[in-house]
Amino acid sequence: MILALDRVEDTLAAIRSALDQSGIARHVTVLDQGSQPAHLEQLAAAIADRADVSLLCAHTNLGVALGRNRASGFGHGRVIVALDNDAVFATTGTVAGLVAAFDRDPALAAVGCRIVRFDDGADDLSSWGYPPALLPLSAGSFPTATFVGAGHAIRRAAWDTAGGYDPALFFCWEEFDFCLRIIAMGWQIAYRGDLVVRHKVAAEHRVAWPERRWYQFVRNRLYIGRKYGDSWPRLLPRIALYAVKGAWNGLTWQTLKAIMAAVVMARMVRPRSLPITAVAYVDRCDGAYRGSWHQRLRREVLVSLDYPTTRPESAPAAKRHPA
pLDDT exceeds cutoff 60 at 16: yes
> In this structure, are 191 and 218 located in the same domain?
no
Instruction: For residue 267, give its domain range.
Output: 209-304
> In this structure, are 182 and 299 located in the same domain?
no
72: confidence class by pLDDT, cuts 50, 70, 90: very high
> In this structure, are 240 and 298 located in the same domain?
yes
pLDDT exceeds cutoff 50 at 321: no
Q: Is residue 323 part of a domain?
A: no
Question: In this structure, what CATH number is given to the domain that contains residue 107?
Answer: 3.90.550.10
Mean pLDDT (the chain, rounded): 92
Note the pTM of the prediction, 2 decimals: 0.91
> In this structure, are 47 and 192 located in the same domain?
yes
pLDDT tens figures, 158-181? 999 999 999 999 999 999 999 999
296: confidence class by pLDDT, cuts 50, 70, 90: confident
> In this structure, are 172 and 284 located in the same domain?
no
> In this structure, are 55 and 30 located in the same domain?
yes
> In this structure, are 169 and 28 located in the same domain?
yes
Look at residues 199, 232, 249 and tell me which one is the last residue of a structural domain.
199
What is the β-pairing status of strands 188-199 and 108-117?
parallel
* pLDDT of the residue at 320: 41
| Strand, coil or helix: 29 | strand
Q: Is residue 234 part of a domain?
A: yes
Q: Is residue 167 part of a domain?
A: yes
- Residue 233 carries which side chain, given as an amino acid letter? P
pLDDT tens figures, 219-277? 999 999 999 999 999 999 999 999 999 999 999 999 999 999 999 999 999 999 999 99
53-57 sheet: strands from edge to edge = 2-4, 28-32, 53-57
Strands (E), 5-123: 28-32, 53-57, 79-83, 87-89, 108-117
* pLDDT of the residue at 310: 42
pLDDT exceeds cutoff 60 at 312: no
Q: How many CA atoms does the CB half-sphere of 220 hold within 13 Å?
A: 21
pLDDT exceeds cutoff 70 at 315: no
pLDDT exceeds cutoff 60 at 122: yes
The total domain count for the chain is: 2
Say how far apart CA 261 and CA 220 lie, in whole Å: 9
> In this structure, are 136 and 248 located in the same domain?
no
pLDDT tens figures, 127-140? 999 999 999 999 99
201: confidence class by pLDDT, cuts 50, 70, 90: confident
> In this structure, are 253 and 193 located in the same domain?
no
Whether 41 contacts 66, CB under 8 Å: no
- Residue 266 carries which side chain, given as an amino acid letter? A
Most distant CA atoms of the chain, gap in Å:
58
- Closest by alpha carbon to 181, among 223, 230, 227, 217? 227
> In this structure, are 194 and 217 located in the same domain?
no
pLDDT exceeds cutoff 70 at 308: no
* pLDDT of the residue at 202: 58
> In this structure, are 179 and 81 located in the same domain?
yes
Other C-beta atoms lying within 10 Å of the C-beta of residue 79: 20
Q: Is residue 94 part of a domain?
A: yes
- DSSP secondary structure letters along 17-68: HHHT--SS---EEEEE-S--HHHHHHHHHHTTT-TTEEEEE-SS---HHHHH
pLDDT exceeds cutoff 70 at 4: yes
> In this structure, are 177 and 148 located in the same domain?
yes
The burial class, CB within 10 Å (0-12 / 13-18 / 19+), for 300 is middle
Q: Is residue 113 part of a domain?
A: yes
